[in-house]
Structure formats: C-alpha cells, structure tokens
Amino acid sequence: MSSRSWLKIIAITSFLILSVLPVAYMYVSSFNLSRYTWIFEDVRQQHMFETTMILGLGTALLCILLGVSIAVLLEYTDIPFKSCLSVLVIVSLLIPPYIMGISFLSFIGKNWVTSEIKEPNPEVASMVRRDRGITNSAMNAAALQNTLLNKTAVTMPPVQQKPWYIPYNIDPYNVQWAIVILSLALFPIVFLLTSFALRNIDERMIDAALLLRKPLGAIWRVSLPMVLPQILVGGLIVYIFAISELGVPSVMRVDTTTMEVFNHFTGFFDISQALALTVPLAFSIAVLILAAQLIIGKKPFFTVPSAAEGRVILKLGKAQKALGLGYIFAVIAVSSAMPLGILLYNSGLAVLPALEKAGDSILNSLFLSIFCSTLILVPSFFIAYFYKGVKWMDYLILAPLIAPSAALGIGMIGVWNNGYTAFVYGSFLVLAFGYLARFLPFTIKTLEPFMAQVPASVEESGRLAGASFTKTVSGILAPLLKPGLLTAWLIAFILCMRELDLSVMLTPPGFQTLPNRIFTLYHYGDIRTSSVLSLFLVAIVVVPYIAIVFMSNASKWHTSNSKK
C-alpha cells in the first residue's frame, strides 16, 4: 500500500477517534428513553431549554446585525481608515466572553468586594460561593443571606455601590444582558465571513446590478443575497458557541441547559441525565447544520479574500461618514476598549502577585494551546486534501459540532477513563484531545477554501518530475498553502487558549489552565488577580494575531513592489 493510501486511512481514522467516537459512544452507551421523556415533562427543564434557545438565537441575530452592517460599511463604502478599523473590530473576538462579562459587571458596580469577605465555616463558604453563580443554587441571595446570618457567624460580602457614571441601577442578571455580552464577543465571526464573501463577488455581477438599481439597492437586493450562505454560516457558528457557553451564563446568573448539564455531572455525578439534557440542544444544532448545508450547497463555509479591500459602491457624504465612523467606533469601544480598560483598572497592576499565584496556569495554557494548534494541522491538512468535494464527508466533519461542549466533555471522560487509556485521562492529554475533538471541524473547514485554490496541475507537475507523494506535500503543497496553514493555526490557537467549558470538565489534577484559574478566582471574589490574569490571556492571544497580520501585510507589500 502506498504512503498516500496510508495517510488517507490515518487521517480519517484519527478524526473518527478524536472527534466522532466520544460523542457517539456516550450517546449510545448512556441511552435511556425515560430520561429523555422526563426532560419534556419537567417544567423547570423546559424553562431552561427555552432560555438557552433564546440565548443562542438572540445572540446569533444580534451578531448578524452587527457583523453584516460593519462589513458593508468597510467593504462597500468610502469610509476612511478601513484597514485599521477592520483590525480593531476583530479584537473583541480575542477576548473570551466570560472575561467580557466580568468586565461588564465591574463597570456597573456588581462585583463582590473581596476585602470584606469573612467565611469561617467551610460548609457555609461553599454555599455562598455556589450562590454567586458557579452552580446557580436554587436558593436566592436574600434567602441564603438571612439563613446564614441567623445560624452562623458569617459576614456576607456587600455588593459595590452604583458608580457615579451609571444614571440608574442596572440589573444585569438576565438573559437579555447575556445576549448582549455574547454578541459583543462573537459578532466578529459574522463580520469576517461576510467581509470575505463580499470581496469575492464577481465584479460583473455588481456592475450589472448598478445599471438597474441605485448603489444601496444593489447592495440590499443583489450583494447581500449572494453572500447569504456565509452570513447564515456565521450565525450558525455563533449559535453553537452561545448555547454551549458556560462562563457568561454563570457570571450573569442565567439558568441554561448547559449550566444544568454541568450541575448534574459535577454535583450529582449523573452522567446519563446530564447527557439526556443535551439531546434537545444537539437536535437543534443538527437541524441548523443540515439547513445550512442545503442552503450553501457546494460553496465553502469559509472563503478567502481575493483583494486587500472591497470595492467602493456607495459613496457617503460627510455626515454619513461621521455617523458610520461613530457607529463602528462605538461598537469597538464597547466590545474591546471598555473591557480592556476595566480589566486594567481592576488589576491595580498587581502583576507579580498574580504571577506568583497563577504563573503555572499561564505556562500550562500557553504550552497546551501551542501543542494542540500545531498538532491539529496534521489531520486537518490531510482530511481537507483527500476529501475535498466529497459531499458525505462534509456531514461527517460537521457531525461533532452537534454535541455541546458539556456533552463532548462527558464523552471524552467516558472514552478515555478506563484501564487501557488511564495515561491519557490522568494527564494533560485528555484536555488536548478534547480541544482537538472540539475544534477539528473548524480548522478543516478553514483549510478547504485554501486547498481549492491550488490547481491540480501543480501536483501533477510534481509527479511528472518524479517527486513522491511525501515530497509533493512537503515541497509543493505545504509552501503554497502557507497562508491557509497560518490562518488555521491562529484560529486553533485562539480557540484553545480561551476555551473554558472543556477546561472545567477535563482539567486533570495538578494541571489547571488559565481560563479555569480566572473563572475560579473570580467566583471566589479575587477580582484583582482574575483581572491581571485576564489581561495576560488577552495579550497572549493578541500577540500571534498581530504577528500573522503583520507578516501577511509585509508579504503583500513585497509582492506588490516586486511587480512594479
């Protein structure tokens, strides 16, 4: 058997073992019809499922509104500072949503004052911490406070007073504010997909539309319908991330199905019930993925921009430019500048104490993210190469996405927690495999459009020159696909670095990731240290992004100059 055939088998086998097996194994092995029917009979579970659906759909719709509007302004108008604004808009995607939620609560004065916490009784302390949001205790805050003060000598931590710059008291603990926070963190996904799709529209189609309609009508009636598949895919990705989110519902005290799954698994160790709770979520994701596949057809999920900037179709007046710039700057300020400024203020620049307390978590996350983002390129590359254009493979690649992150975490434990694979479950490898299982579909889909741009004649020329398949891949395909590989690596690195849900469920003893440490410190009331560590996390994610953007721009500049 040739090396090509062996690599093809290894690629698909690794994908099935890493991504498909944990989901399939747990849903099949823990199948219990009575548990599934109980979900639809319990009023509380129905309410949480409705809340989760509202959270997911609301976040997707708001992200589409923000992402598409900003993409049109930056791609099709003559608004100034396009390149700079395009980079700034993406910054909020580099800030984990739960960190944005922590920053927002601090901004409106809803964080706990850590210096006044006195919890001498460990059992009472545990109850207090649970009520702060980590497990959404059934007792509300007032009832718990009265119970504790009457029976134990505990001083409850007071809530900060409303800041002077907030005109009225804001109650952030509801699904509406959770939607806003998640949307500010995730809308760049829709923005990127829409921007790249708008740049790839055939200019002849735009010219024909402008002959029949005014510029605004051409954008609304021609351009946007043509990129509707990419817009819907962006909304689908946002929906998957939103309903799987654990951090934002926790800090915003919103009861969601994901939170309930986490509670059943960690609090009651009821794996069967926890998985049963994820079935309605998985079904909703499966329906949306199937609909997206039918709508998008043979088009790729992700597209590669064909030009540095889009074409100017709509020329704006001075007032319109001012309004457009004001809108974009307002979104950037709320989604990026304000959270980072609040974190910087809350940190008190206490860098050394934070490093002493959690320096190991920073190194753990950095090592794990680099390891996973590098390792994930191998199966992603060969699956995108061997199975491009294969329709049934598209559904198989997207199949793992139907499982929310909580269900995937349970599946990883079920597969790897046995006598034969104890070395995996007891080390950081279980977390690494979890990251690969979660993010392989995204990196594969990221590489597919880059792979489609490489002509088949290039590989044929290599074979005619006597190059083996291995040399063709390493000497021809890999260099040509360098931009795609860098993009896929960066996406994997960002997703791994900011991942919280799987970290909470899979972190082995003695190995705590940075997101997990931030989340724990925040719920224990250590705002200063969690703010410093959040800044470290954002900085670690931003640095490779800026480096790759700089290298990409330098390459384009070198290419343009060489042509002159």
pLDDT digits 0-9 by tens, 516-534: 898 888 878 788 888 899 8
> Which residue stretches of 314-455 are H helix?
318-332, 338-347, 351-375, 377-386, 391-398, 405-416, 422-425, 429-452
Most confident by average pLDDT, 154-168, 238-252, 308-322, 416-430? 238-252
State the pLDDT at residue 259.
86
Q: Are residues 13 and 93 in the same domain?
A: no
Give the pLDDT mean for 124-142: 39
- If you average pLDDT over every residue of the chain, what do you get? 80
Q: Are residues 380 and 471 in the same domain?
A: yes
Cβ-based neighbours of 491, under 8 Å, separated by 6 or more: 439, 442, 443, 446
State the pLDDT at residue 374.
94
- DSSP secondary structure letters along 271-335: HHHHHHHHHHHHHHHHHHHHHHHHHHTTS-SS---SSSS----B---HHHHHHHHHHHHHHHIII
Name the DSSP class of 281. H
Q: How far apart are the first and last CA of the chain?
A: 49
State the pLDDT at residue 119.
40
Q: How far apart are CA 104 and CA 244, in angstroms?
A: 20
Q: Are residues 182 and 305 in the same domain?
A: yes
- Of 474, 513, 532, residue with least CA distance to 372: 513
Q: In which domain, by residue range, is 184 found?
A: 49-111+173-343
Residue 39 in domain: no
Give the pLDDT mean for 14-21: 87
As given in the structure block, the two tokens for residue 133 are: 């949001």
pTM of the model: 0.83
Confidence of residue 35 (pLDDT cuts 50, 70, 90): low
Residue 140 in domain: no
Residue 81 in domain: yes
SS3 2: coil
Is the model's pLDDT at 554 over the cut of 70? no
Q: Are residues 276 and 226 in the same domain?
A: yes
Residue 279 in domain: yes
Residue 130 in domain: no
Query: Does 115 or 366 have the greater pLDDT score?
Result: 366
As given in the structure block, the two tokens for residue 80 are: 């100034």
Q: Are residues 257 and 352 in the same domain?
A: no
Other Cβ atoms less than 10 A from the Cβ of 536: the count is: 22
Q: Kindly tell me the burial class for residue 401, based on how many C-beta atoms sit within 10 Å of its own C-beta (0-12, 13-18, 19 or more).
A: buried
Q: Are residues 26 and 94 in the same domain?
A: no
Is the model's pLDDT at 138 over the cut of 60? no
Q: Are residues 63 and 6 in the same domain?
A: no
Q: Are residues 187 and 333 in the same domain?
A: yes
State the pLDDT at residue 329.
95
Residue 6 in domain: yes
Q: Are residues 400 and 319 in the same domain?
A: no
Q: Are residues 307 and 357 in the same domain?
A: no
Q: Are residues 407 and 286 in the same domain?
A: no
> Over the Cα atoms of the chain, what is R_g?
25
Is the model's pLDDT at 147 over the cut of 60? no
Q: Which of 310, 343, 376 is the last residue of a domain?
A: 343
Q: How far apart are CA 337 and CA 339, in angstroms?
A: 6
Q: Which of 293, 320, 343 is the last residue of a domain?
A: 343
Query: Does 386 or 119 have the greater pLDDT score?
Result: 386
Residues 335-341: contacts with CB within 8 Å, 24+ apart? 335/91, 335/92, 335/95, 335/100, 335/184, 335/185, 335/187, 336/88, 336/91, 336/92, 336/95, 338/103, 338/107, 339/92, 339/95, 339/99, 339/100, 339/103, 339/104, 340/95, 340/103, 340/535, 340/538
155: left (phi over 0), alpha (psi -120 to 50) or beta: beta
Q: How far apart are CA 66 and CA 204, in angstroms?
A: 28
CB 467 within 8 A of CB 482: no
Residue 531 in domain: yes
Give the pLDDT mean for 259-274: 78
CATH number at residue 335: 1.10.3720.10
Q: Are residues 475 and 332 in the same domain?
A: no
Q: Which of 327, 343, 359 is the last residue of a domain?
A: 343
State the pLDDT at residue 555.
58
State the pLDDT at residue 293.
80
SS3 497: helix
Low-confidence winner among 77-91, 129-143, 163-177, 374-388 (lowest mean pLDDT): 129-143
Give the pLDDT mean for 223-233: 87
Confidence of residue 298 (pLDDT cuts 50, 70, 90): low
- CA-CA-CA-CA torsion for 440, 61, 77, 228, nearest 10 degrees? 60
Low-confidence winner among 61-65, 228-232, 547-551 (lowest mean pLDDT): 547-551
421-459: pLDDT as tens digits: 888 888 889 999 999 999 999 999 888 888 877 777 777
Residue 414 in domain: yes
Confidence of residue 124 (pLDDT cuts 50, 70, 90): very low
268-289: pLDDT as tens digits: 677 777 888 888 888 888 898 8
Other Cβ atoms less than 10 A from the Cβ of 280: the count is: 18
Is the model's pLDDT at 159 over the cut of 80? no
- Provide the domain count of the chain: 2
**What is the Cα 188 distance to its own chain's centre?**
11
State the pLDDT at residue 306.
61
Is the model's pLDDT at 184 over the cut of 90? yes
